Amino acid sequence: MTHLKPETMGQQFGRRSWAEPWKIKMVEPLRMISREERERALVEAGYNTFLLRSDDVYIDLLTDSGTSAMSDRQWAGMMLGDEAYAGSRNFYHLEEAVRHHYGFRHVLPTHQGRGAEHLISQVAIKPGQFVPGNMYFTTTRLHQELAGGHFVDVIIDEAHDPEDLHPFKGDVDLDKLGALIERVGAGQVAYVSLAGTVNMAGGQPVSMANVRAVRDLCARHGIRLFLDATRLVENAFFIQEREAGFADRSIADIVLEFCSYSDGAWMSAKKDNLVNIGGWLAVNDDDQFEELRNLIVVYEGLHTYGGLAGRDMEALAIGIEESVQDDHVRSRIGQVRYLGELLTDWGIPIVQPVGGHAVFLDARRFFPHIPQDEFPAQTLAAELYLDSGIRSMERGIASAGRDAKTGDHNRPKLELTRLTIPRRVYTQAHMDVVAESVKAVHDGRGSTGGLRMTYEPKYLRFFQARFERL
């Protein structure tokens, strides 16, 4: 038997290795159930990974939302919760952290991102108006539609091509945006909805040059620009890495400049901001803030807690400070990239370039024999779970829902299965296990059949839909 010389990952990739800028103080045991038990669990869950019990999951890559590990400082902050109904000191700490790191004037806490999306949509959209954005996100678009808006995708075409290597696939196509303004008139555009990074495109970033140009175009027409800041810190990493003139600027500094081109932002703090629950909404305009501050008491809670406990706001304020540290972001995205590079090396089709929060498997090329109407990405998520108990998420035809007018499926160009990496939770060895499982499913791909949807909820169907094998 021959023995290969062991090499570190750094050696294998011809560079020095990196390591996480933290050590582990507390662990949570993992459990893997048998293949027969997984078969049973999957049938019970209607082939939908959202409906699995987490006890039946081995490595959970469903999402990076609320699944990150808090630091010892954040846990210590939980003990400093001021649970006053009004004026909690933790709110003022949170307000200060958002102002300092994102630069907005007015801050409202919300229970999570969609709470903030709901409020901004209700206040900033008049029924019948258009909301251009750099690719849809499920909850964002739904809240815009529920407020009477029409979402229009103005992202560059490259974003819809998983093989295109454009370094900023989240960029807005200025011609598309300009044409929309021309067609409907500036008064009919509620605001531009800009997400950095773009989740559904594969965690792809927006360049600073692009946000500046979008800002200029908006300013010329008197249109507001709002950010989805959920993963803006990760976006800043790509600007630092790829955009000329930013290599020596800190992530914190880049985030601040990016936000300075906008009128406000909504945030799911469960991602970048390193908490298990929470969100915020921030705007600069005094009158708009007045309206939002009034509306928040109807849906979330008083404007100094917005659905969060004092302790949650404290953990969030500390999480914001930790989230913009260069070392943290580099190792977080480094881990995602490590998994992506392994899969690329093995010829497995994924969205390129690898994005910030996840590796997205390209289910169209993975299962070319399964037509889109038979849910190839949902099938791939099911197969991965069967192989190894790894949980991933469909981001294709099921997620895209139906066209409000025709009632037919929306058929997105991207049919993806997302392996989402929580922050500070899994090790490099876990990534190896994940990569080997994806490879095993890829090796046996020819014999896999698709799925049929047997139950379809009205809103955000992918969360609770049920499927069976064809």
Answer whether 112's CB lies under 8 Å from 270's CB: yes
Cis peptide before 139 (omega within 30 of 0): no
User: Which one among 102, 130, 137, 375 touches ligand P61, defined by CB under 6 A?
Assistant: 137
Binding mask 178-207 for ligand P61 (x = CB under 6 A): -----------------x---x--------
Is 38 near ligand P61 (CB under 6 A)? no
Q: Report the alpha-carbon angle 425-431-437, nearest 5.
A: 130
Stretch that binds ligand P61, among 107-115, 119-127, 280-288, 319-327 (CB under 6 A): 107-115
Question: Shortest approach of ligand P61 to residue 51 CB, angstroms?
Answer: 13
Please give the backbone phi and psi of residue 89, each rounded to the nearest 5 degrees, phi first. -65, -25
Let me know if 138 is a catalytic residue. yes
Q: Binding to ligand P61 (CB under 6 A): which residues in 391-450?
A: 393, 399
Annotation says 344 is catalytic: no
Query: Residue 77's Cα: distance from chain center in Å?
Result: 26
Site string for ligand P61, 214-243 (x = CB under 6 A): --------------x-x-------------
Each as own residue / partner, the long-range contacts of residues 453-460 (CB below 8 Å, 24 or more positions apart, any chain) are 453/375, 453/398, 454/46, 455/46, 459/142, 460/138, 460/139, 460/142, 460/401
Q: Has 85 been annotated as catalytic?
A: yes
Residue 298 tokens, joined = 């109807």
With CB under 6 A as the contact rule, the residue among 48, 63, 235, 352 that binds ligand P61 is 63
Euclidean distance between CA atoms 404 and 439, whole angstroms: 38
- Least distance in angstroms from the C-beta of 12 to ligand P61: 30
Q: Based on the residue annotation, tell me whether 462 is a catalytic residue of this protein.
A: yes
Which of 60, 228, 272, 362 is flagged as catalytic?
228
Nearer CB in complex with ligand P61: 270/430: 270
Per DSSP bridges, beta strands 358-362 and 150-153 are unpaired
Which residue in the set 113, 196, 356, 396 belongs to the binding site for ligand P61 (CB under 6 A)?
A: 113
Candidates 49, 63, 67, 138; catalytic one: 138
Residue 36 neighbours by CB under 8 Å, 6+ apart = none
Question: Residue 356 has which token pair?
Answer: 């910030």
Whether the bond into 353 is cis, omega within 30 of 0: yes
Q: Is residue 262 at the binding interface for ligand P61, with CB under 6 A as the rule?
A: no
Q: Distance between the two ends of the chain, CA-based, in angstroms?
A: 44
**Sole binder of ligand P61 in the list 112, 144, 372, 379 (CB under 6 A):** 112
User: In whole angstroms, what is the distance from residue 181 CA to residue 366 CA?
Assistant: 39
Any residues with CB less than 8 A from the CB of 44 and at least 6 apart, and which?
51
Q: Does 335 bind ligand P61 (CB under 6 A)?
A: no
Binders of ligand P61 among residues 274 to 293 (CB under 6 A) are: 279
- Please give the residue whose beta carbon sits closest to ligand P61 in the complex: 113
Q: Using CB under 6 A, which of 74, 268, 323, 352 touches ligand P61?
A: 268
Whether 137 is catalytic: yes
- Give catalytic residues, as residue numbers: 85, 137-138, 228, 271, 395, 462
Binding residues for ligand P61, per CB under 6 A? 63, 65, 112-114, 137-140, 195, 199, 228, 230, 268, 270, 279, 393, 399
